[in-house]
Structure 1
Amino acid sequence: MPNEELSGWKLVVGDVFREPDYPKLLCVMVGDGVQITGMAVVTIIFAAFGFMSPASRGMLLTRMIILYLFLGIIAGYVAVRVWRTIKGTSEGWRSVSWFVACFFPGIVFVIRTILNFILWGSKSTGALPISLYFILISLWFCISVPLTLLGGFLGTRAEPISYPVRTNQIPREIHARKYPSWLLVLGAGTLPFGTLFIELFFILSSIWLGRFYYVFGFPFYSAYVVGYRLC
């Protein structure tokens, strides 16, 4: 039987807070994740209490976009604070803030542009007009980017996150994996994907396919139960 002193969490406790190979990518993903999560949580709360009606799909989508734009200040703050924690200095915070402001919106913009060209080629009425593109780009670079940079500046003034444990100077040896990485990723992602698929299907259907989504209370209650269990 393995020694309880050297099993479980204690095996990796001195290595989990070691600087990753791509620290900037980690900070960008954390910042964008906080921004998207904040937008989703606020939208679900307001919709659950009746402040946002799913019958008004255009208004719901517009408010989600506005929430995402203004939450850029939180994304920049979190990303730069994580960066400062990892590196021990604020040097390079502007680059991190710019990546946070452009990473996820840039991916969405490129995908939407490709789909829009396909719709234009098929002469579909679902294609976005060019004027709306200029409006979205203006909102992106006139609101989201400045707020993200402001949040990053505030993150440089915040105290670094203190680690609960000390990191070992010598990295622990990692044994060869028994199963390939893609199989582990597939297995770990199947359960949450299956759980969220139905909710996301109805939410996206209400936005793009003209259907109504009235069950905001269910994800709100589920998030409350999960948070209560975690606490």
Structure 2
Amino acid sequence: ITGMAVVTIVFAALGFMSPASRGMLLTGMVIIYLLLGTVAGYAGVYLWKTIKGTPEGWRSVAWWNACFFPGIVFVVLTFLNFLLWGSKSTGAIPISLYFILLSLWFCISVPLTLFGGFLATRAEPIQYPVRTNQIPREIPARKYPSWLLVLGAGTLPFGTLFIELFFILSSIWLGRFYYVFGFLFVVLVLLVIVCAEVSVVLTYMHLCVEDWRWWWKAFFAS
């Protein structure tokens, strides 16, 4: 998803995807997402292999990568399309397009994701410089809950994107074209930098209090 967003914004900033051409931006996003299935499968299975120490069960991880997000999008799209069909709107998607999307999903995206997962099983795992204890270490009590720290840290990335998000949503709801993809690319770069710095600071704070459960907290904070 992140790779699709970055590549789409870069191509749009370079002028290859103009919103004036009806459907070009959405078509480009779908094609880029399909082609990046190998990267998604590789990253997901490699992370699974790093955490578990063994690639066992990588097929289910690859299937989840290939089906979870597209499945949610497909369910939401189907629900909205049923509403459009019920109101006899001309904006409803024809049934032929559904079969095309399903064919692209299961014939291109899923095989590429499984292939990326297979490549990850053959890659060298990350070697940790320290030994992991078999018995989890007790975490000292803290004065503040973790969710409060995560919520506070999440406001910084949101503040970076808020102004540009306001213009994007205004363009959508007012029926206007959004052309300033160059500024959006700059905001995306700033967002990535802020998310990385917030995760580093939050992880450091957790390690200072001897909290080894920092993985998901750093993820949710950014």
- Same structural fold, with TM-score higher than 0.5 when normalized by the shorter chain: yes
Aligned-partner Cα distance in 2 for 1:182–1:122: 43
Identity of aligned residues (%): 80
Per-residue CA distance 1:21-48 (angstroms, 9 max, x = gap): xxxxxxxxxxxxxxx1111111111111
Q: How many residues align?
A: 196
Residue by residue over 1:34-72, the C-alpha shift from the partner in whole angstroms, topping out at 9 and shown as x without a partner, is xx1111111111111222222224011101100000100
Q: Does 1:140 align with 2:105?
A: yes
| Contact 1:73/1:149, CA 8 A, preserved across alignment | yes
Tell me if structure 2 keeps the 8 A contact 1:54–1:206: no
| C-alpha displacement of 1:155 | 0.8
Root-mean-square deviation (CA), in Å? Answer: 2.8
User: Per the alignment, in what secondary structure is the counterpart of residue 174 of structure 1?
Assistant: coil
AA paired with 1:124?
Answer: S
2:7 matched residue in structure 1: 42
Match for residue 125 of structure 2 among 160, 163, 174: 160
Q: 1:192 aligns with which of 117, 140, 157?
A: 157
TM-score (norm 1): 0.72
TM-score (norm. length: structure 2) = 0.75
1:113 CA displacement = 1.0
* Mapped partners of 2:172, 2:23: distance in 1: 8
Which residue is 1:51 aligned to? Answer: 16
Q: Does the 8 A contact of 2:37 with 2:66 survive in 1? A: yes
Equivalent pair of 1:45/1:220 in contact (CA under 8 Å) = yes
Deviation of the 1:162 alpha carbon? 2.9
Structure 2 gap segments, 5+ residues each? 198-222
Which structure carries more relative contact order (alpha carbon 8 Å, separation 6+)? Answer: 1
Q: Which runs of 5+ in 1 are unaligned?
A: 1-35
The CA distance in 1 between the partners of 2:38 and 2:130, in whole Å, is 29
Partner of residue 28 from structure 2, selected from 33, 50, 63: 63
The answer to whether the 8 A contact 1:97-1:148 is kept is yes
Task: State the partner residue of 1:91.
Answer: 56
What letter is aligned with 1:52?
M
Q: Which amino acid aligns with 2:38?
A: I
Provide Cα deviations, 1:99-158, integer angstroms capped at 9, x if missing partner. Answer: 110000001111111111112112222221111111111100010001001111111111
Taking structure 1 as reference, are residues 214 and 165 closer, same or farther at Cα in structure 2, changes over 3 Å only?
A: farther
Preserved contact between residue 79 and residue 100 of structure 1 (Cα < 8 Å): yes
Task: Kindly indicate whether the alpha-carbon contact (under 8 Å) linking 2:171 and 2:177 is maintained by their aligned counterparts in 1.
Answer: yes
CA distance in 2, matches of 1:57, 1:164: 53
Does 2:71 correspond to 1:124? no
**Residues 1:217 and 2:217 aligned together:** no
Q: Is the 8 A contact 2:161 2:191 kept in 1?
A: no
Find the residue that maps to 2:10 and give its secondary structure: helix
Pair 1:106–1:201, CA change in 2 (3 A): farther
1:1-16 equivalences under 5 Å are: none
